[in-house]
Structure 1
Amino acid sequence: MTSEPITLAVGSTNASGDQILSFKPEVSNEGISQGKLEVNSSATVTVSFTTCAPPPPASTVLDNKAPVLTVPQDFSREATGRVTVVDFAEQLSAIDREEGNLTDKITCTPVSGSGFAVGATLVTCSVSDSGKRLRTDGSAGPDGEVLTTTASFTVTVEDNTAPDLTVPQGTVSIPAIDINGVSPDYSKWVSAWDLVDEEETPMPVCTPASLPIGLEQTVECTATDSRGNRSDPQSFTVNVTFASASRGLLQPVNDTRNGLPISLFKAGSTIPLKFLPPTFAGGDAATGLAGGLRLVVTTVPASGNSAEEETTDLSSGSTAWRYDLTAGQYVFNLSTKNPFFRAGMGYRAEISFQGVPVARGDFRLK
């Protein structure tokens, strides 16, 4: 009998040539002895396979990714002054795959919290990583190129607020410069302040530009800023008067305001009413008022208190007002023949020009 060696080779490999399967043969047959098989004999070979764990994949380095930067959409703010502080820090964020949260590394120009002028301002923000790279297994790889992300948005500061307008609360008295009145410099009493224009706020416009001599005249003003925001109109009252106060009558009518006794005249007589002319703002005498003077005579109780009766129809026997250039005074000859005048009564004569008092005096008839 001749015996030959038996050689068995069974296995499986992967694409890289690594063995992934192995077996352990178990041979059972009387014809096999010490690994040799007799000629013309047969044997049963049982092969069992065990799966081997694959080797770990090779770790590779990933490319660095730029940070993701988030900025606000374009937005507007109402102006709070010449510059308006705008804070947008809470609307910024930056996330980096390799380094995580980089929000605190964001830089913007202008920076959040800056003062923004009226109009549109472009804000540019950027954030940079440090160039770190990761491997596919999550471990740190060698540093690479530093990457920067940039984004921008527009902040628009709008001014839709009209100036604050200030006018007098009471009545303003302005002396006339001549018989035509005055063209007031309203800036003495009227002002405006705009929160953006500040000290450059345009002067309010008031109408009318000129005022005649007279009382209780209404002036209306508005203020408009440099961007066309106009305030609501406000008004105040102006009296255009004379520089001098109302005067007392001259002799023969005593000026009782100076402590003199009241003058007595015979009923039916003519009483000359005289007074010095008032003055204009520059000190010139107002000598051209005769045509506009008005005399009102009222009855006065014996106590000298409030008027009881008034008349303006004193033409019977009286003369018109005139200015006596030589004496430098106005004169009106008042006839007391009018039925309005009665013996034993007291009277007050009040002279005005376009409603502005210029002289006053009291007398009694006997």
Structure 2
Amino acid sequence: QLEALDFPSEALNTEVTMVVTGEPPGAMEEELDNEEEEESSSEVIDSLYLLDVLRVSAILEDIVDQLSILGYIIPVQYERKQSVNQRTSHERISMASSRRKASPLATKEKSMVQETKHRGQDSIFKKPTRQTMMTLEILKKIQNDRQYFSDVIANAMKEMQESGSFQSLLDALGKERDSKMNFHEVITREEKGRRKIKSLQKQLIDVKKERQMQVQNGNEYIAHLKDQLQEMKAKTNMENLYMKRNAELQVTQTQKKCNRAEELLLEEIEKLRMKTEEENRVHMEIEMFLKKEQQEKLEFWMEKFDKDTEAKQNELNALKAAKAADLSHLQELAKTIREYEQVIIEDRMEKEKTRKKLEQDDLELKSIVKLQAWWRGTVVRKEIGGFKMPKKEKDDSKDSKGKEKEKRRGKK
């Protein structure tokens, strides 16, 4: 494949370096980009025609070819499964070329893709290559990224050729965007941690300086206190000597005062002892008098209690007898009241019956009067029996009278 593309042999030994510049996008910018890409992708999927499908397929095929070429450019000792990748790339190229030959609309797009392909390759190989020392991990990462990108483009090209959409490419972009955001978040947290560590180290240095100043000030203060302690010791020794002599003198004077106070207290104790004996004698006499008086009052109150108890018992018996008499009287009154109530109820029932009977008689009388009036009118109108209708001159007067009678009957 390399010989068919006419690549120079010098290009096989070149090394590729990737430089990422710029600041990572913010969270709000990433969300806006995601929304815009989702909207644009939905619009593209809805409005994608056959010509656009062929163009995009050609571009994707060109990308797959360039990625496979990049896989050959990378040193051989760091490549993984190169034979498998070559087979898959050959199969993809053959499938894409066969489909492009089958469609007549792809001729112009094919020529344009070939031109862009040669221009891109010329620009790539004309650029000066930077000889750098690359570690094993970097080369492995480049190879893995190239292989992953090649698989994503191949899947997108296959989906584009089959269904005319590229949803798998959008899904892969979304996953890469999420991983990129996570990577940028990790970098941001690491930078914040480094700044925090630097600030903490600076604070630690400041604290150490402050502690050293405090220790120096403390040492100076300790030396000053030691000097004061020496002065205080000398002063204390002199004060102790003075206080010792003063205390001895005060003890002597206090002993004299105590001896005199002891004599006075002994005299006072003797007086109090005599006074206590006198008070004890008086107390005994008062106690005997009070016991005697208590005994007399106890006998008096016991006798009075017995008399009062007997009188109250008699009153209680009289009250019980009066209660029994009142109870019997109340029972008789209750019996009389029940009889009166029964008589009143019977009288009310009798009056109610009489009232209903009078109402019934009055109603029957009114009905009889109405019936008689109706019968008389019928006899007159029908000329039953000896009744005859009057002459026509008197019809008006009779009509008026009949109307008055009917009005009266209606009122009744």
Query: Shared fold by TM > 0.5?
Result: no
Provide the TM-score with structure 1 as the length reference.
0.16
Q: Which has the higher contact order (CA 8 A, sep 6+)?
A: 2
Higher helix fraction: Structure 1 or Structure 2?
A: 2
By percentage of residues, which structure has more strand? 1
